Each structure stands twice: as structure tokens, then as C-alpha cells.
Amino acid sequence: MTTILFNPAATDDERRARLYNGQVLVYGASPESLALVQHARDLITEAFGTLDPQTAQAEMPVEEYARLLAELKPKFIHHPESKELIRRLLSSYHCNPDRTYFDVPRLRTSTSDGYLTSGISYAFHPHRDTWYSAPFSQLNWWMPIYPVVPENVMAFHPQHWRDPVRNGSRRYNYYEWNQTSRQTAAQHITSDTRDQPKPEEPVQLEPHVRVVPEGGGVMLFSGNQLHSTVPNTSGRTRFSIDFRTVNIDDVLTRNEAPNVDSECTGTSLRDFLRASDLERMPEDVALGYEGLTVDG
């Protein structure tokens, strides 16, 4: 079962070990996390103009809303300030910048009452990031941009931390996905027909755990945690930031969470940038992760 810890005192090595063992860590807002959140808010406000971003869905046709997000989200991802603020945030958590690699931060949305749940604002079914060719040493950082409530966050399904779930990851290749499916996200408005790894057997969803960080707070969890998007019934769109990190020493030594059910191929490791200088993950390291197999 998953343990939730709030503001735990730990070194980076201790923190990673806890996350690889299934714990979820939650931290209060800090100057560095609030700076990243404010940067996102500035871009969101610019995009929505006079509309309140959290309630704009009630005033916009869904097609127009999807087009707006299709411009806003890449703008946040590729903005040079986004990467710089991530580097400052990681430094505040005492992550070694020469050993810590991060991928680009993403702006996520979860609209309310089924307004837009596919494509550019995908409502994720129960899944592990490791079904999508993520390394098992990947750590997920998640931050709400505006205040959130239990009705619009994510759910963890901790009973499956070590219990396998039959899933479609055997059909997933990271490189094929990037070439054929990632670029079409904004086209999927009323439904999403892309073949993504999903459970192929009943999943024990209860009991589940919902964590509600404060706006600008930070939640960390292993990419191997089974989690899903909570059906948003709050009446407000949830905006959040997430990005992932790996420690290259853990990547090299396979110090990581257990693989109980992932059979995907390819690897996302080439997406990770070294915090000290934004150099990409060395090619020889990525090559060692081309094929993933379930642990014996």
C-alpha cells in the first residue's frame, strides 16, 4: 500500500529510495514552485484574455477551446523560462544538477463535467507511466496551478503497486507513438481513437487515494504508480504542471521501482536533459533501455 508523507525531511538519495518503494511525497509551496506556477498563470491569462481560465469552458465552444489549448500548451513547453524555472526548483530540492535529468514541463488541463476529455485534454484511465516506455527510475513531479479539490485531482490505486495488471503495453513503442500519434492530440475532441496502453482486465479501483496539494505545492511519485484522472465534477477546469526526473546513477545501476507488468519497447530517456547544462541523456545510456521486460 502507498504511504503519503507531507514535507518529509530527507536527502535526495533518501527521497528517491522512498519513491521507488511506493511512497508519495507532498511538499508545500515554495518561492521556486510559485515562480513556475506564476509563469504558467501568465501564459494562461494571456491565452484566455478576459475569461476566467477555470470557468472559460462554460463560455466557449469545445472546438475553440481545444484550438486554444493546442497553442497554449506547446508555448509553455518550449518557453525558455519554463526550463530555467525547473532548474531552480530542482536546485531548491537539493538535486545534484550534474546527475539529475529532467524532461520538459507540461501544462495539463482537466475540464469539468465531461466537456473535453480526449486529445489535448486527455482524461487518463488507470495507467502507469512505465507502460509508456518510461524508465523505472522515473519520478513524477506534479503541481496544481490554481487551488484544487478532491473532485478534480488524480487518484492513486496503491493496491496495484506490486500486483500486475494485464495491459496493452506490449503493443506500445515509444518511437512509433511520437511519429504517428502524439502530433494528432488536438484533433481528438469528442473521442480518442489512439491505441494507448490500458488495463485489459478489471482493475481494483477501490480503495483509492486522492491527494490535494495547495496551489503551487509539489507532489512527487514514482512513474510506476498506478494512477488515473478523477472525473472532474468540481465545475472548474483544473490546470496543473508536471515534469519528470531521473538520476543518471540510478539509471545506470537500475536502482528503481519494480517492473511487474510493463512490456513496452523503446525508451523516453532521450527526452531527458541534464539540469546543469541541458545536455541530453548520453546515447549509450539510452541504448541500454531499448527493450523492457517484466522482472522475473
Cα–Cα distance for residue pair 220/287, rounded to 1 Å: 27
Predicted pLDDT of residue 68 = 97
Three cell numbers at 183? 502530433
pLDDT digits (tens, 9 = 90+) for 260-282: 999 999 999 999 999 999 999 99
Say if CB 106 and CB 112 are below 8 A apart.
Answer: no
Cα–Cα distance for residue pair 111/64, rounded to 1 Å: 14
Predicted pLDDT of residue 249 = 98
Cα–Cα distance for residue pair 188/193, rounded to 1 Å: 8
Amino acid at 160: H
Element (H, E) at 96: none
CB atoms within 10 A of CB 55: 13
Cα–Cα distance for residue pair 148/4, rounded to 1 Å: 18
Residues in the chain: 296
pLDDT digits (tens, 9 = 90+) for 233-262: 999 999 999 999 999 999 999 999 999 999
Helices (H) and strands (E) in the chain, counts: 7, 11
Helix, strand, coil proportions of the chain in percent (round to 5)? 35, 20, 45
Three cell numbers at 201? 482486465
CB atoms within 10 A of CB 97: 13
What are the chain's domains? Answer: 4-287 (2.60.120)
Q: What's the Cα-to-Cα distance from 69 to each of 18, 25, 45, 127, rounded to whole Å? A: 35, 29, 12, 23
* Interacting residues of 89 by C-beta distance below 8 A, sequence separation 6+: 30, 32, 33, 35, 36, 218
Predicted pLDDT of residue 3 = 87
Mean pLDDT (whole number) for 12-31 = 98
Predicted pLDDT of residue 186 = 43
Cα–Cα distance for residue pair 245/81, rounded to 1 Å: 18
Q: At 262, is the secondary structure helix, strand, or coil? A: coil
